Amino acid sequence: MEKVPDFLVNMLDIQYGKDIAQTILKGYESKRYVTLRVNTIKTTKERIKEELGSSGIEFEEVAWNENALVIKNANESEIRKLSMYEEGHIYLQSLSSMLPPIVLNPQEKENILDMAAAPGSKTTQIAQITNNNSMITACEINQIRSERLKYNLEKQGVTCCFVMNKDARNLDDFFSFEKILLDAPCSGSGTITLNNDIPENFTEKLIEKSCKVQTALLDKALRLLKSGGEMVYSTCSILSCENEEIIEKVLKKHNASIIPIEIENGKDIPYLPVKIPGTICVCPNEFFEGFFIAKIKK
């Protein structure tokens, strides 16, 4: 089994205290259940439940997300062999990753920006929530990842999205959007599983680099957000230097404020303490990746 880097253990101890840090470390040791989202652009939840049942696959429903299922007795490779996966009727996605689009609460006809979109998990979810009837601009800086994004959008039947192979930090300020999702590039400190190899580039330098990119992206997001518009800032990190500290720094420069997040029927979500009231941070365990989410209004 892999070992959590000493520098991360120290950061968790300082930020959360040793007791909560130990809970996080225990979460890193957990083997996470496979979770999926039913793609209602192409099918229905009832049909997917019937197909899973006929394949002998056990599942649980999720109280706060009517289109999410937790798979109890199959791994990802087994799910990928099913026709429902091949046909884009389901999308393999972590429960934590499903939270930001729900918090964003996109509506039909809205002009929406997804600033770091690949591989498309949240982009396709936004399209699904808006019944494929919003106007989504999805940015992805990396050419290969941009092609993967386009592939997933097509596979999921999304027709309301325009993909830009562009660094969102370089978008012209004449653009403006009613809703923005910034699922920012991060260290991934919430996604560590000691059953898998910890990436070699998971270093203090990666965290420092991530913070610089996050600051620039959030600043750009608030420039592009219409007055009265709302955005979500999220990361799969549980470190305050990538989350609350970024928000506090950037919000000082803009006429924007935090909207307190309330997840309906979310009492089973394992929350960590946060430094900004109204934001949420999810603790890693066997069901969830570590994830931070803030909702901001301009």
DSSP per-residue string spanning 105-117: ---TT-EEEESS-
Q: With CA atoms as reference, report the closest residue to 158 among 223, 216, 114.
A: 114
- The C-alpha atoms of residue 208 and residue 187 are separated, in whole angstroms, by 9
Confirm whether 236 is a catalytic residue. Answer: yes
Strand order across the 34-38 sheet: 59-62, 65-71, 34-38, 90-92
d(CA 68, CA 38): 6
- Say whether 122 sits in a helix, a strand or coil: helix
Buried-exposed string 276-290: b where 16+ CB fall within 10 A, e elsewhere? beebbbbbbbebbbb
Which residues are registered as beta bridge partners of 162?
137
Between CA 95 and CA 249, with CA 178 as vertex, the angle to 5 degrees is 75
Structure tokens at 107: 């509506």
Per the CB < 8 A criterion, the answer to whether 134 and 109 are in contact is yes
List, in sequence order, every residue forming a beta bridge with 181; answer none if it has no partner: 114, 232
**DSSP element (H, E) containing 180:** strand 177-183
Q: Which of 139, 161, 211, 236 is catalytic?
A: 236
CA dihedral of 189, 67, 293, 150, whole degrees rounded to 10: 70
Peptide bond between residue 106 and the one before it cis (omega within 30 degrees of 0): no
Q: Which two tokens stand for residue 235?
A: 């990361």
Is the CB of residue 181 less than 8 Å from the CB of residue 112? yes
| Coil vs helix vs strand at 13 | helix
Active-site positions?
236
